[in-house]
Amino acid sequence: MKVTFELRKPPDKHGKCRIRAVACFMGKRVRIATGNYIAEKNWDKTSYKAKRNSADSASINASLADIEARLSELYHRHKHLLTAEIIQNAFKDDKPPLQHNFFEILEKFLAVSPFTESRKNGYRALARHLKSFETEYRYPITFESITQDFYDKFREYALAIPLQNSTFARYIKALKAFMRWSSETWNYHTNLVFKRFKAPKEQKKHQLSLTEEELLALETLDLSTPDLQHLTKSRDAFLFACYTGFRISDVKQLQAANIHNNEIKIITKKTKDALTIGFTNKTLPIWEKYQETGLIDIEEQTLNKHLKIIGQKAGLTNPIQELLVYGTITEAKTYERWEFLSFHVARRTFATLSFARNKMTAESIMQITGHKDLKTFYAYINYTPKMVNDEYQKTWN
């Protein structure tokens, strides 16, 4: 038996043709529907397969290979008794292969993942862009359509918006993580083309940590006026994290059950490490003020908005120049320091000032921050010119 595949023309309203299997045996020819559709430009007439890297090529070719194997098995089972009717009966109850909804599975992925809400929002932003891309480029997003053709078109879409290279790189990394999970953990697809995607090199972003003077400005900022009172709790939660190095997830989970003998004892949310630190004259008043309600009772996004307002009111207005890269185009933009203020800055501030004060070793700070190696830890330390000069003077003067 010889099995080939052909396109049934004309194409439908979506520009796709049905793929039919053609089985030739003992002078007979039988055509059967495969349940697959493809644009003619994506069809390889020589190999009778979907062109590599075209939309849905992996699933289509896998389906065609399965049909060819089934036809071959029928031929070897029936031999000269095989008829067109036997073949047609064997395939008459076939249904198109199950297509899992890409975006529904993405939501399932986020529901079971241990990600922070901020990171989940990054994935949701990716989903919004993929849906916009799907509409604008008329490119259906499925697990099998994530091909090199998709990557090239999505890159074109990103540049047209425009998205910065660093943003596009984060989206590609997130997409690859989701595709890997959906394939290896749940077997939703067998398309591994995504592994070849190369995210553009990310431009190094300014990583803000507060100076001693800026921390003092936040501590002493008057928020007692009616228009600013609602910012007090956000400021206090941020300061508590500056004094402890806690992640937002650990500040959120803090409750009376975590307090023993004037010490805070927690299992960190992210790394599951046991951590014990004592209260200080900075942290104890804040905890006593909010022990009944908890330190954080608003969404992280709202909290970060509050912090930017607080930073601006506190005078964090020194300029920072940032390079924005769109494809091959580089643009310099100037920001003020308060524009970079977010809750994560508290951890960087704790690490940087603890190190700069020369009263804690890197190893001791790492026990609190949960960093496992010095390279990762030192990425958190923002060496200011003043810090470098102070150390130089102490060493050589």
Task: DSSP for 163-230, please give it.
Answer: PPHHHHHHHHHHHHHHHHHHHHTT------GGGG--PPPPPPPP-----HHHHHHHHH----STTTGG
277 — phi, psi (to 5°)? -140, 145
Query: What is the distance between the alpha carbons of residues 345 and 5, in angstroms, rounded to a whole number?
Result: 59
- pLDDT per residue, tens digit, the chain (397 aa), is 899 999 998 888 778 899 999 999 888 899 998 888 899 999 998 899 998 877 678 778 888 888 898 898 888 888 888 888 888 888 876 655 555 789 999 999 999 888 888 889 999 999 999 999 999 988 889 998 899 989 999 999 999 999 989 999 999 999 999 999 998 888 788 888 999 999 887 666 778 899 999 999 999 999 999 999 999 999 999 999 999 999 999 999 999 999 999 999 999 988 889 999 999 999 999 999 999 999 999 999 899 999 999 999 999 999 988 777 777 777 788 899 999 999 999 999 999 999 888 778 888 888 888 888 888 887 777 766 777 777 777 777 7
Contact indicator for 195, 176 with CB cutoff of 8 Å: yes
* Helix, coil or strand: residue 366: helix
Query: What is the distance between the alpha carbons of residues 137 and 143, in angstroms, rounded to a whole number?
Result: 17
Give the global pTM.
0.60
Contact indicator for 87, 30 with CB cutoff of 8 Å: yes
Positive or negative, the CA dihedral 251, 257, 263, 265 is: negative
Measure Cα distances from 350 to 205, 238, 264 in Å: 19, 11, 17
Query: What is the distance between the alpha carbons of residues 264 and 247, in angstroms, rounded to a whole number?
Result: 14
292 — phi, psi (to 5°)? -80, -35
